[in-house]
């Protein structure tokens, strides 16, 4: 299917475990982004990528790792999950900086 | 650093009322400006955008004008509908092509 897809949609994990959230887009967009959405904070940028093998930290990158070996995939890994990382995570992609960003449906992550 | 500030919600209006959601930004250079909308249980989708000063973005009856002199991009609609109930986010794309969002404004429209 065309578009941007995130998996899983829901995930419960334990404190200290490593967890990876997947993001896949079919448009060959150059830019991809990871955000977390929390009540009272809106969307905060975790990491972004301008192209394959190019990634940069956002506002709240501590505790997260990303990779982009292929243009279409941008996985986000929580190296050792903490309860403060309980959130809804959104992946997005865009063709260029000043064009529309397309969002996935989100992954609701709960760390217990 | 670059940032976006938008009015706190929730905003509650009656159907057919006039809507304004204020948004101001801080950025170096000349960012592109956006309004996104998020319906319950969904991701964000672009509502409108403006890429240079004095540009007006419009879509589905919503409008916003890029005001460089006041660093603002206020969202307006002349007559809201129940179906406009959602969370609205103002955003900018900075010179590094990061997209920075405001905290969002929840809008409730009463029939």
| B104 chain-A contacts, CB cut-off 8 A | 42-43
For the cut 90, the answer to whether the pLDDT of residue B81 exceeds it is: yes
Task: Give Cα separations from A72 to A14, A20, B94 (angstroms).
Answer: 29, 16, 23
Closest CB from B45, B49, B96 relative to A103: B45
Under DSSP, the state recorded for A73 is: B
pLDDT tens digits, A1-50: 669 999 999 999 999 999 999 999 999 999 999 999 998 888 999 999 99
More confident residue, B28 or B54: B54
pLDDT tens digits, A65-106: 999 999 999 999 999 999 999 999 999 999 876 678 999 999
Cβ within 8 Å, pair B97-A105: no
Cβ within 8 Å, pair B45-A48: no
Under DSSP, the state recorded for B70 is: T
Q: Are the C-beta atoms of B37 and B91 separated by less than 8 Å?
A: no
Residue A98, pLDDT score: 67
Cβ within 8 Å, pair A98-B45: no
For the cut 90, the answer to whether the pLDDT of residue B8 exceeds it is: no
Closest CB from B45, B96, B101 relative to A42: B101
Closest CB from B32, B43, B98 relative to A103: B43
| B101 chain-A contacts, CB cut-off 8 A | 35, 42-45
User: Which of B52, B90, B51, B93 is CA-nearest to residue B73?
Assistant: B90
């Amino acid at each position: 299917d065309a578009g941007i897809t995130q998996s899983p949609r829901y995930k419960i994990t334990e404190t200290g475990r490593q967890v990876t959230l997947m993001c896949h887009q079919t448009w060959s967009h150059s830019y991809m982004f990871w955000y977390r959405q929390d009540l009272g904070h809106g969307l905060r940028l975790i990491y972004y990528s301008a192209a394959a093998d190019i990634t940069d930290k956002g506002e709240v990158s501590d505790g997260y790792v990303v990779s982009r070996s292929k243009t279409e995939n941008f996985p986000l890994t929580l190296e050792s999950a903490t309860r403060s990382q309980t959130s809804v995570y959104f992946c997005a992609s865009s063709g260029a900086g000043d064009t529309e960003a397309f969002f996935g449906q989100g992954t609701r992550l709960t760390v217990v | 650093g670059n940032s976006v500030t938008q009015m706190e919600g929730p905003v509650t209006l009656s159907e057919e009322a006039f809507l304004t959601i204020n948004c101001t930004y801080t950025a170096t250079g000349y960012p592109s400006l956006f309004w996104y909308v998020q319906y319950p249980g969904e991701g964000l989708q672009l509502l409108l955008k403006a890429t240079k000063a004095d540009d007006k973005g419009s879509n589905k009856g919503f409008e916003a004008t890029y005001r460089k002199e006041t660093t603002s991009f206020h969202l307006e609609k002349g007559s809201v509908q129940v179906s406009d109930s959602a969370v609205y986010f103002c955003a900018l794309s900075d010179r590094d092509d990061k997209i920075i969002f405001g905290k969002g404004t929840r809008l409730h429209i009463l029939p």
